[in-house]
Amino acid sequence: MIDIHCHLLPGIDDGARHLDVSLEMARIAAAEGVTTIACTPHIQPGVFDNEAAGIREAVQDLQEAIDEAGIAVTLVVGSDAHIRPDFVSAIRAGEIATLNDTKFVLFEPPHHIAPQRMDDLLFDILAAGYVPIVTHPERLTWISSHYELFVRLSRSGVWMQITAGSLTGSFGRGPKMWAERMLIDGVVHVIATDAHGAKRRPPLMHDAIRSAERLVGPQETRNLVSIRPRAILLNSDEFTPPKAPCETSQPPKAKRGAFWPMQDILNRTAR
């Protein structure tokens, strides 16, 4: 398996705090069957001022430590880039790191506010030759009122990544419900851990895979955790689109006072 979203690099965002945590996370991931991890620290100007060159250096250092520790995991470069109006120029300027230096790039929307014209920005990124992968739409507090936007984006070339922990209920009932619904509707391209630690939000995949298999079957689940992530890291256009969707159902209505609406790929490539 390949994990394309993991806050594994030590001390540069709200993920792993120290090298020991990074190594423990890598051990956990390896035990789960993950062979390659994209290191994707937050990039958010003024909050997490990471940029591609620094991430690249940190990935090299951590890979050396992982190799010394005898953990069979290969790292590649990436970032969890928060929405910004200059997203394309930030990629071109070497501020935002794409996944393994491919055209695929993680795109993180705001958690609590639906941004104006996010679809225009995503289409601008597509028009510039990149493929934005929207991170954890199922965990956004505003998905209930904008579900059709995510369906339309997914049908238009924007990729969707849901969180493994959402499928197992680690983020509550709402994200679990939306993650399941997105899978059933055939709008999800990838499942990733978005892990932030070894104890808090660890890089677990196994139980989520069992859940996904029950919803979309074993072949589509392989597409979600291995085949499409591999295509991403190889910068390939050869991938199977998400499972043919069922008829999209009407979004559930929010209930007053309710929580939400019932809501190896590669040879060593780190540089």
Q: Write out the residues near Fe ion by the rule CB under 5 A.
A: 80, 194
∠ Cα 110 113 116 (to 5°): 90
Of 134, 174, 126, give the one whose Cα is nearest residue 151.
134
Nearest approach, Cβ of residue 171 and Fe ion (Å): 12
Q: At its nearest, how many Å lie between Fe ion and the CB of residue 142?
A: 18
Task: Residue 73: name the closest of 84, 65, 85 by CA.
Answer: 65
Q: How far is the CB of 205 from Fe ion (least distance, A)?
A: 15
Q: What is the DSSP letter of 173?
A: H
**What is the nearest approach in angstroms of Fe ion to the Cβ of residue 135?**
6
SS3 104: strand
192 or 270, CB closer to Fe ion? 192
Nearer to Fe ion, 3 or 80 (CB): 80
Nearer CB in complex with Fe ion: 194/220: 194
The smaller minimum CB distance to Fe ion, of residues 182 and 216, is found at: 182
Measured distance CA(187)–CA(183) in Å, rounded: 6
What residues does 44 pair with on adjacent strands?
48
Min CB(10)–Fe ion separation in Å: 15
Q: How far is the CB of 194 from Fe ion (least distance, A)?
A: 4
Q: Concatenated DSSP letters for 234-261? A: TT-S--PPS-PPPPPPPPPPPPTTSSSS
Q: State the minimum distance, in angstroms, from the CB of residue 230 to Fe ion.
A: 20
- Pick 138 or 194: Cβ nearer Fe ion: 194
The token pair that represents 155 in the structure block? 């049908």
Distance in angstroms (rounded) separating the CA atoms of residues 62 and 254: 44
Q: Judged by CB, which is closer to Fe ion: 39, or 88?
A: 39
Residue 74 forms beta bridges with which residues? 36
Nearer to Fe ion, 5 or 27 (CB): 5
Distance separating alpha carbons of residues 77 and 100, to the nearest angstrom: 5
Residue 190: count of CB within 10 angstroms of its CB: 26
Q: Give residues with Cβ within 8 angstroms of 61, minimum separation 6.
A: none
CB nearest Fe ion: which residue?
Answer: 80
Which CB sits closer to Fe ion, 109 or 186? 109
**Could you tell me the smallest distance in angstroms from the CB atom of residue 39 to Fe ion?**
11
Q: What angle do CA 63, 68, 69 make, to 5 degrees?
A: 95
